[in-house]
A and B are shown apart, each in its own frame.
Chain A
């Protein structure tokens, strides 16, 4: 069965550095999402992306964050200048359509900011 793949599985970065988290969604999917989960807390929506543009973003997704689909297969989340509070598990998800089909999740990238 096709899967959403995320790399790396664990990223350790110094505070203030830029980090890029990578995702390869399922190939025929059109809607892409990033979520994050701070340790011990619930999963939170960050951003949704469709047709090469952001369709919705949360309050968390400020100017430090950006997303890109650079080559038609990868979907990336960039954090420009990381803060300690960005430490979390970041999940990528994709779906065929907006509401009728389930979102499929990757295994996540654990981001640790030192």
Chain B
């Protein structure tokens, strides 16, 4: 069983839709990262959180440590949001990655 599970694996949306990507994990962690990977391959860190909720622009990330669950929300989605979104957890100092959610937003 994977230590980090994401759902859905693939997601398509129309521009303007509200999007939610979920992440569940099975190990104890000190923090969780949400990362964005574009088709060229580069990885950008969106959020690192260990409790509660963080917001940056149209992106919101939440985490429930007791339930070992995190969500990434995108409000008013746009075609430029199309990317792979990856959840990664930090049990020690190494990140354990989920398989990613491929998001396509159509105009």
A43-B86, A43-B88, A102-B33 known; A48 vs B43 contact (CB < 8 Å): no
Q: Any chain A CB within 8 A of the CB of B83?
A: no
What are the interface flags for B82-96 relative to A under an 8 Å C-beta threshold, 1 for contact and 0 otherwise? 000010101011111
Q: Any chain B CB within 8 A of the CB of A98?
A: yes
Q: Any chain A CB within 8 A of the CB of B57?
A: no
Q: Any chain A CB within 8 A of the CB of B12?
A: no
Residues of A contacting B99 with CB < 8 Å?
A: 41-42
Asked if B94 and A45 make an inter-chain contact with CB atoms under 8 angstroms apart, the answer reads: yes
**Number of A positions contacting B (CB below 8 A):** 28
What are the interface flags for A23-45 relative to B under an 8 Å C-beta threshold, 1 for contact and 0 otherwise? 00000000101010100011111
A42-B99, A42-B100, A43-B88 known; A105 vs B94 contact (CB < 8 Å): no
Smallest distance from the beta carbon of A88 to chain B beta carbons, Å? 11
Whole-angstrom distance between the alpha carbons of A43 and B85 in the complex? Answer: 12
* A91 and chain B: residue at smallest CB distance: B43
Q: Any chain B CB within 8 A of the CB of A22?
A: no
Smallest distance from the beta carbon of A58 to chain B beta carbons, Å? 8
How many contacts A-B (CB < 8 Å)? Answer: 60
Smallest distance from the beta carbon of A53 to chain B beta carbons, Å? 13
What are the interface flags for A98-114 relative to B under an 8 Å C-beta threshold, 1 for contact and 0 otherwise? 11111111111010000
A33-B94, A42-B99, A99-B30 known; A110 vs B86 contact (CB < 8 Å): no
Asked if B95 and A103 make an inter-chain contact with CB atoms under 8 angstroms apart, the answer reads: yes
Whole-angstrom distance between the alpha carbons of A101 and B98 in the complex? Answer: 20
Contact residues, B10-35 vs A (CB, 8 A):
30-31, 33, 35
Whole-angstrom distance between the alpha carbons of A20 and B71 in the complex? Answer: 38
* A37 and chain B: residue at smallest CB distance: B41
Q: Any chain B CB within 8 A of the CB of A81?
A: no
* 15 pairs of residues in contact across A and B, judged by CB atoms under 8 Å: A43-B43, A43-B95, A48-B94, A99-B31, A99-B90, A99-B93, A100-B31, A101-B48, A103-B33, A105-B42, A105-B43, A105-B44, A107-B42, A108-B41, A110-B41
